[in-house]
Structure 1
Amino acid sequence: MQDACARPVNYLRISVTDRCNLACIYCNPISPSPRLRHEDILRFEEILVIARAALEIGIRKIRITGGEPLVRKGIFPFLKKLGSLPGLERLAITTNGILLPSSLDRLQDAGVHQINISLDTLDPETFFRITGKDAFHEVWTGIEEALARKSFIIKLNAVALRNVNEKDFSALASLALNNNISVRFIEEMPIGHHHHADHRPVLVQEIQDSIGALGSLTPLPSDQLDGPARKFTFPGAKGEIGFIPALSRHFCHTCNRLRLTADGRLRPCLLSDISHDIKGPLRHGAGKKEIQNIFISCLRHKGAEHIFHPDSEGQVDTAMARIGG
């Protein structure tokens, strides 16, 4: 598949729930909207129908997100069915890590290739400030156990928050020194009217300056199924450092993604409220070809670039927990 700008699109992110067992300050809006009703959320059987149709027209990588996907009942049998679909080359999941220690066997059995874990700090007190829960040690245990298995591609996602976790950047980046892991720093995005007091984002150049003592960064090539991170390594490192400059340096020209929300809407861009209903037609009997046409229509509305920059006052109204990142 190609969008209107001739960019290849081979990556679908699917949110399976808007529920989460954390309350991160960059994810939850100031005035949260009511949680989706169960009947408003796509059933796993419906997601499999959509995924099968998408794989037939060019999707090769699927990432499962939330909310927190591991809190949804039935997630592991669903992942196993999803992982067995023809044409799927990489199955990934994004999690906050709280339930990871008890989930690794089932994730491995389901055929998950890649686990992205949200970790914004290595300090338990800062973790509590960001997430609202004293659960750093559970997350860290899950990371250590996942790394020990050597069965997954492991990536850590750290959202850069001014006056919150800036002091942690160097320690987080150092994890890539002795571990085969990718540590990715993400510029905070204007989504969902979140309540982080100082909305001025920490930009990638500031992050790079703060980890400069680790050594000079050497760029690494990306493969066709990668996400938006610009990848680097530094001297002696076993792992990688990644930067996602959503505001300071748009990566829109390389965007290869569509997003399916928990309530069944297909979004061509994270930083836009444009979406296409796919649940409604599906529940009214739409066949595979009609579903695929919705994907094609969505691609036509995938803009050349988003409108936000570091000084933007605007916001994407939909909360991140509902979009799935």
Structure 2
Amino acid sequence: MFRRVYYCKNLVNVAFLSTETATVVKQQTSIQKFRERLKNDTSRGILTDTFGRHHTYLRISLTERCNLRCTYCMPAEGVSLTKRDGILTTDEIVHIASLFVKEGVQKIRLTGGEPTVRQDLVEIVGRLKELEGLEQVAITTNGLTLTRQLSTLQRAGLDGLNISLDTLKEDRFEKFTRRKGWPRVMAAIDLAVQLGYDPVKINCVIMRNYNDDELVDFVTFTKDRPIDVRFIEYMPFSGNKWQQNKMVSFQDMKEMIRKVYPEFRALENGPNDTSKAYKVPGFVGQVGFITSMSEHFCSSCNRLRITADGNLKVCLFEGKGEVSLRDALRSGASEEYLREIISGAVLRKKKQHADHLEEHVYSERHNNRNWSSKYKGNIHARERSTTKLSAIRQFSTLTHVDTKSGKASMVDVGEKQISNRIAKAKGSICVGETICRLIKENSLQKGDVLTVAQLAGIMAAKRTSDLIPLCHPLALNYVDVRLTLNETLNVVEIESEVRCTGKTGVEMEALTAVSVAALTIYDMCKSVTPRYSMVISDICLLSKTGGSKGNFNR
């Protein structure tokens, strides 16, 4: 699409507007007027979005490759990588960076993959430091090879670094990363301190029953060192098989730490800080919490991202709407045109990660975003609810879509544990006064409506995998469909319960039973009254038990 639009000047704005936005623009004003409005609005700046957020922080991924295989990050065999000629070159990185710096970016962080596996890292750092107006160049690294590179990087101008480390125990490091190297990472931290980096930031992803027992150890680690340990709430993204019951919330982490350090207190934060700063009085270093899941910080976000293959991402969790700056550069786009592309992408940035989140809760049997486990600890119900919705807000990958091909695929449940699964659902169909009376009298021409609908619902539950393509066929232990005639409201109320012993849940079977029972009533009664007068509504999951994601009750 980009190349076609690039050479068709009359459609130039469509290159950086979503289909919906472009349609609205065409309805409200001409494309030419809209383009002129953007050009003339010099006070806005191309890095300011429609919510007034000015983006001064750019993260550039230098590579998709990594020399670790962290269990929560990628499969042991690795992932499919973009071909080398699809990755941004050194010149392209500097070109893009210089454009953003001219527009107000003050800080650039180099990431990966693992940025230290790129051989021209020192050159990139040095050339970025030459950009007028850029105040800071930093990297995020796993530290595995940093001891032999850090001195050179510092001479090139590297201002700051974050080192990823999820455990202070060597055996756990090898288990988590599927590689050796813990002593080298610890040596890199010590070297960074010796070279005067203050603070040395350590990124630590905390997971329940994984490394949450080391929270206090990490806090203690800051006692005599200028270390800023940043505890990151476990976040969902494509391929990491995220589970809510593995997440340790910000509130939970604070409670665990205060059992040992009751004086653990909050510090003042800057307006764009993603980390909530805390400190034990008297300690040299400090601690921060990155609460992407439980308390998102979208309103103050000032970050943009460039992927290793040259796509501009305005939000980490926004998969749609990426624009390829690489393709624009390689097609000979002018700087003015690049500014238009960037401006359009920034203008499309949403207020927060997603809207209407509640509609997606508990909606699919195989959906990794089921929020069923309740948080442990003394967190109020309101905080739990906020945490759930904030977590959903972060997730944007469909589990029934193959990440390589982009096509629909069935979820592999082979590694899941067998457990007892129960799901209950409900729904209703408003039939009106006449049909309600005929059902009660059992005088409809097609027969006993409630009995036939009950049988249809039971049969449908047993045939769910034939009706819904990506559902797994299950051997059900029990199906019950109950229909109640509510004469006061002229409604048939339907409830179902489905049980099985298996590796995946029966939510879809319960919902299918209710749906088909309601449709059967509709079919048997449609000849008596105008068809539009009957309304099927309120079909939803009532409860589910079993599985790694825990239980849910509406």
Is the structural similarity TM-score above 0.5?
yes
Helix, strand or coil at the partner of 2:140: strand
Displacement of 1:227 after TM fit? 4.3
Aligned to 1:81: 127
- State the alpha-carbon separation in 2 of the partners of residues 193 and 239 from structure 1: 34
Aligned to 2:290: 244
Match of 1:178 among 196, 215, 224: 224
- Which amino acid is the alignment partner of residue 161 of structure 1? M
TM-score w.r.t. the length of structure 2 is: 0.55
Q: 1:152-205 deviations in whole A, cap 9, x for unaligned? A: 541000001121111111111212221112100001111122146776311111
CA change 1:227–1:32 in 2 (3 A) is farther
Structure richer in helix, relative to its length: 2
Aligned to 1:149: 195
Displacement of 1:222 after TM fit? 3.1
Match of 2:214 among 159, 168, 172: 168
Q: 1:80-137 deviations in whole A, cap 9, x for unaligned? A: 1111111110111000000110011111011111100001110111111211112111
Aligned to 1:297: 344
Unaligned runs of 5+ in 1: 320-325
- Residue 263 (1) aligns with residue 344 (2): no
Helix, strand or coil at the partner of 1:302: coil
Helix, strand or coil at the partner of 2:155: helix
Report if the CA contact (8 A) 2:293-2:394 is conserved.
no
State which drifts further: 245-254 or 62-71: 245-254
Match of 2:70 among 24, 27, 32: 24
- State the alpha-carbon separation in 1 of the partners of residues 314 and 248 from structure 2: 26
Report if the CA contact (8 A) 1:29-1:192 is conserved.
no
Displacement of 1:311 after TM fit? 5.9
Aligned to 2:324: 277
Q: CA RMSD in A?
A: 2.2
CA change 1:182–1:151 in 2 (3 A) is closer
Aligned to 1:254: 300
Aligned to 1:217: 264
Match of 1:36 among 82, 94, 117: 82
Number of corresponding residues: 318
Displacement of 1:314 after TM fit? 4.7
CA change 1:50–1:9 in 2 (3 A) is same
- Residue 309 (1) aligns with residue 390 (2): yes
Q: Which has the higher Rg, Structure 1 or Structure 2?
A: 2
- State the alpha-carbon separation in 2 of the partners of residues 8 and 198 from structure 1: 32
- State the alpha-carbon separation in 1 of the partners of residues 391 and 307 from structure 2: 26
- State the alpha-carbon separation in 1 of the partners of residues 269 and 312 from structure 2: 26
- State the alpha-carbon separation in 2 of the partners of residues 154 and 58 from structure 1: 26
Helix, strand or coil at the partner of 1:182: strand
- Residue 287 (1) aligns with residue 295 (2): no
Report if the CA contact (8 A) 1:115-1:152 is conserved.
no
Unaligned runs of 5+ in 2: 1-46, 355-388, 404-554
- Which amino acid is the alignment partner of residue 310 of structure 2? G
CA change 1:230–1:197 in 2 (3 A) is closer
- Percent identity for Structure 1 against Structure 2: 34
Query: Which fold has the larger relative contact order, with Cα–Cα distance below 8 Å and residues 6 or more apart in sequence?
Result: 1
TM-score w.r.t. the length of structure 1 is: 0.92
CA change 1:180–1:230 in 2 (3 A) is same
- State the alpha-carbon separation in 2 of the partners of residues 86 and 155 from structure 1: 26
- Residue 56 (1) aligns with residue 137 (2): no
Aligned to 1:323: none
Report if the CA contact (8 A) 1:76-1:107 is conserved.
yes
Aligned to 1:322: none
Helix, strand or coil at the partner of 1:211: helix
Displacement of 1:33 after TM fit? 4.2
Report if the CA contact (8 A) 1:201-1:310 is conserved.
no
Report if the CA contact (8 A) 1:54-1:295 is conserved.
no
Helix, strand or coil at the partner of 1:159: strand
Helix, strand or coil at the partner of 2:146: coil
Displacement of 1:2 after TM fit? 1.7
- Which amino acid is the alignment partner of residue 20 of structure 1? C
Q: 1:268-325 deviations in whole A, cap 9, x for unaligned? A: 1111202111111110111222222222112112211113634679544799xxxxxx
State which drifts further: 38-47 or 213-222: 213-222
Report if the CA contact (8 A) 2:76-2:178 is conserved.
no
Report if the CA contact (8 A) 1:30-1:195 is conserved.
no
State which drifts further: 262-271 or 125-134: 125-134
- Residue 131 (1) aligns with residue 212 (2): no
